[in-house]
Amino acid sequence: MNIAYVSLGSNIGNRLHYLQRAVQLLRESSRIEVEKVSSIYETDPVGYVDQSPFLNMVVELKTSLSPHELLKKCNEIEAELGRTREIHWGPRTVDLDILLYNEEIMKTESLLIPHPRMTERGFVLIPLVEINPVLTEPGSERTFVELANVQREGVHLWRTFRGIDAFVHFEG
């Protein structure tokens, strides 16, 4: 089995519901096991800033899917939950990005692993190191904890859950 880390974000409508539903859809795949979920963080938008704050989180997966198959699954979940791509880095119901896949470094036309901007984004790094504080950047000696410690601005703990079931079944 492969270990992958996927970030999730939402800033339209019932943000928590979109994150919960995305995790439920990942869990429903026979080739994916959701191992861990981070806390949820409310974060300021990055890039296109004229939009509402995001809820962000990271999940750790075990999967028999290849990186491209996992990307396809993430894109299918986004589409099922109404994601549209009208403004680059703009508002979205849900966004799923593959951050890491094992220790692999991959550069193809449709997929870059590790995610190319993850080391610049506290809303990715902080939940990532929460669920696995010993991760290091593939091809580097840098730990993600070191990188997260300087990326905390605009990232605020929103809610913590005691496990995956508590997260997907929470009604807040």
Residues labelled catalytic: 83, 92, 95, 97
Cα 63 to Cα 4: distance, rounded to the nearest angstrom: 7
Q: What is the DSSP string of 57-105?
A: EEEEEEESS-HHHHHHHHHHHHHHTT---SSTT---S-EEEEEEETT--
| Encoded amino acid at 129, one letter | V
Tell me how far the alpha carbon of residue 150 is from its chain's centroid.
Answer: 19
Task: Give the number of other CB atoms < 10 A from CB of residue 117.
Answer: 12
For residue 159, give every residue at least 6 positions away whose Cβ sits within 8 Å of its Cβ, in sequence order, or none.
16, 39, 40, 172
Q: Is 107 exposed, middle or buried (0-12, 13-18, 19+ CB in 10 A)?
A: exposed
